[in-house]
Amino acid sequence: MPDERTYREDEVAEIFEAAARPAPKSTTLARAEGFTLAELQSIGGEAGLSPERIAEAAAAVEMRRGAVRRTTLGMPVAVGQTVDLPRAPTDREWEMIVADLRETFGARGRLGSREDVREWHNGNLHAYVEPTLTGYRLRLGTQKGDAAGLNQMGAFGLVFALLWVVVFFLRGGLGAELFVPLMMSAMGGAALAYNALRLPGWALEREAQMEQVAARVRVLLGAPQPAASAAPQLSAAPGSDAGAAVPLHADPAPTPPAL
């Protein structure tokens, strides 16, 4: 009779730890068509998670999926946020949204509309409420006006300086001629360093502001929100002027105007 398998002390602990974990059920296996929120709440309930917490987490995932960022040379030069809305805002709700945008970004901006699209823009910063195949969406976006130009100038300066050095080296002369390429490379490097220092912070600030605005708009229009980003509902003062609508914020201090 062959010797029976024995297990070391560390293996025993590992086996009992694995056996104590709940066994996976067929309902939790991946499906090509995905899961509905109700199905996720049912599965999460078996693990002791509340349906409300599952809904909040699902809303947070949806919010992150709507974030976009465009980069050049690895640096962010434009950011945006798109979220689905349960319905189109009424005229008064749109006034409240505009007031929230003005306070959040510290900019008055200008209003516009065409057919079923509402828009607010301030320079490169814009917000649209527009129809989709399944309903409506809020689309926010902005770009740093001088970022791409400075990146291009910096890259051009470094490449031009390198080519200059190569040409003079092949011609057998490197001396006073190095002054120009050194100056070009210094200017190009300074431009790139300037962008590398400021653009990440700018992008994070704008992304946070857009996520907060999007969360408040979804609350206003009746969509579920994640606990981490939920904000007080918007309120407006009487009157039809959008500037009179007053949103509620935890920090009333306006941020610097968007560039």
Tens-place pLDDT, residues 87-141: 999 999 999 999 999 999 999 999 998 888 999 999 999 999 999 998 999 999 9
Same domain, 218 and 128: yes
**Of 65, 85, 117, at which residue does a domain stop?**
65
Q: What whole-number percentage of the chain has pLDDT above 70?
A: 68
pLDDT score at 144: 94
Same domain, 173 and 155: yes
Domain count across the chain:
3
* Between 56 and 253, residue with greater pLDDT: 56
The answer to whether the CB of 68 falls within 8 A of the CB of 210 is no
Domain that holds residue 175: 147-195
Is residue 187 domain-resident?
A: yes
- Per DSSP, helices labelled H in the chain are 9-20, 37-46, 51-65, 91-105, 147-170, 179-220
Same domain, 72 and 125: yes
Same domain, 42 and 161: no
Is residue 77 domain-resident?
A: yes
Is residue 11 domain-resident?
A: no
pLDDT score at 48: 80
Residue 255 has pLDDT above 60, yes or no: no
Mean local confidence (pLDDT), 220-234: 56
Distance between CA atoms of residues 85 and 88, nearest Å: 7
Q: Mean pLDDT over all residues of the chain?
A: 77
pLDDT score at 235: 42
Same domain, 236 and 183: no
Is residue 215 domain-resident?
A: yes
What pLDDT digit, counting tens, does each position of 133-188 carry?
989 999 999 999 899 889 888 888 888 888 877 777 777 666 666 777 778 888 88
Same domain, 60 and 187: no
Is residue 257 domain-resident?
A: no
Give me 128's structure tokens: 């649209």
Mean pLDDT highest for which of 7-11, 18-22, 51-55?
51-55
Mean local confidence (pLDDT), 230-252: 40
Same domain, 107 and 72: yes
Same domain, 134 and 152: no
Mean local confidence (pLDDT), 56-63: 67
Mean local confidence (pLDDT), 20-25: 59
Same domain, 92 and 155: no
pLDDT score at 250: 37
The answer to whether the CB of 63 falls within 8 A of the CB of 215 is yes
| CATH value at residue 103 | 3.30.160
pTM here? 0.63
Same domain, 123 and 213: yes
Is residue 24 domain-resident?
A: no
pLDDT score at 141: 96
Same domain, 117 and 162: no
Same domain, 73 and 94: yes
Is residue 36 domain-resident?
A: yes
What pLDDT digit, counting tens, does each position of 108-120 carry?
999 998 888 999 9
Distance between CA atoms of residues 56 and 228, nearest Å: 9
pLDDT score at 60: 65
* Between 191 and 11, residue with greater pLDDT: 191
Is residue 258 domain-resident?
A: no
Residue 18 region by backbone torsions, left for phi larger than 0, else alpha for psi between -120 and 50, else beta: alpha
